[in-house]
Chains A and B, each alone.
Chain A
């Protein structure tokens, strides 16, 4: 079990800056994010886009801002659990919480800060009957460990970069790779696309174009995938795995089940300290809502500062908080 003062759910810009504000008050932080990297939507969706409304930066690229935040919080040695989703919160008799992720990682914290942005980036799922029935039994939305597919028959579906890249990679690992794409051409990186066409021409993979997923079959575990091509002909392929790769989309996810007051996919907070209605749980950044809320990174930074000063009383119940400027005291690492 990981033990920390503050557990921050969401490692986007606001979650990262919250570590700095906590650090100034000598509170340690552990961050959990479902994406495999820090930075939230800045790193996942628009790393190379310039941002113009960060005070002091006339222009900064999204990824550069994330890198700078990571540098800024280094003195406070935050720890991270990435690629895992927080599924469950359990209140302890002393008021603290034990947080459990979908991979059964456990974190014990005095305070929880939800800085979850738009929620959890979940894979988009194709509309297929019995899809949920085969999830984890042949249907998977990400390649966590390529060895899972060694000497297996794998169907990938999608036309983006990740579909192309995994087709190329798995062609060396799997017994047989089939890529199903609804169009005749790919819009992904031209290099990867031509590699995929080469592999198909050499007979190393099966490339099925202008076709859509239609039906899944199997008794318990996935055995077959039925496709439909442009002329409405059906093709059934034997397979061990189906990997649909249709990008990610944010969902509020398990946060909705934690007894917090939620309005239109956002958590209602008290603007005095961005606390939720549940003691020791705060919400900052794009995931919260209050009258006058603006979904801006700079507003999230402000919320992080105020919120951490409020959380101090739970981490150090016997101490009096004295407000100090970094210009006076500097940044004292721990």
Chain B
């Protein structure tokens, strides 16, 4: 299990615990935790409705991939550590990270 923190649109933070051995994506865990993430395309990095900003832990989680950037670029606003939650695997690398929900879609 890994623990990380999620900040919603209103700035409320909550610690989330998720299994790191089930091949889950961060998007799936956010949805399962009842966060309002649309995830229109279901996790194919094709819609950018699971836009998050990595506030802490960006070095461990790495930069957005090219496919993510293709989508992020289309958004009215994104940030240097923006990612698509569907492209972040729940792994030990996430331990202690802080993730902020972004985008008017969510």
Residues of A within 8 A of B (CB): 41, 45-46, 49, 118, 124-127, 158-160, 183, 187, 244, 246-247, 249-250
Residues of B within 8 A of A (CB): 38, 40-41, 44, 46-49, 69-71, 73-77, 104-105
Main secondary structure of the interface of B (DSSP, over half): loop
A41 to B38, CA, bound (A): 13
Please tell me if the beta carbons of B74 and A159 are within 8 angstroms of each other in the complex: yes
Chain A residues lying within 8 Å of B40, measured Cβ to Cβ, are: 41, 45, 118, 249-250
Main secondary structure of the interface of A (DSSP, over half): loop
Please tell me if the beta carbons of B44 and A127 are within 8 angstroms of each other in the complex: no
Q: Return the chain B residue nearest A244 by Cβ.
A: B76
A49 to B46, CA, bound (A): 10
Please tell me if the beta carbons of A187 and B69 are within 8 angstroms of each other in the complex: yes
A226 to B72, CA, bound (A): 23
Please tell me if the beta carbons of B74 and A126 are within 8 angstroms of each other in the complex: no
A127 to B49, CA, bound (A): 16
Please tell me if the beta carbons of A247 and B41 are within 8 angstroms of each other in the complex: no
Given A41-B40, A249-B105, A126:B73 Cβ within 8 A: no
Q: Return the chain A residue nearest B106 by Cβ.
A: A249
Given A249-B49, A249-B105, A124:B75 Cβ within 8 A: yes
Please tell me if the beta carbons of B73 and A183 are within 8 angstroms of each other in the complex: yes
Chain A residues lying within 8 Å of B46, measured Cβ to Cβ, are: 45-46, 49
Given A124-B75, A158-B74, A41:B104 Cβ within 8 A: no
> Beyond A49-B46, A160-B73: 16 further Cβ-contacts under 8 Å?
A41-B41, A45-B40, A46-B44, A118-B38, A124-B74, A124-B75, A125-B76, A126-B77, A127-B104, A187-B69, A246-B76, A249-B38, A249-B49, A249-B104, A250-B38, A250-B105
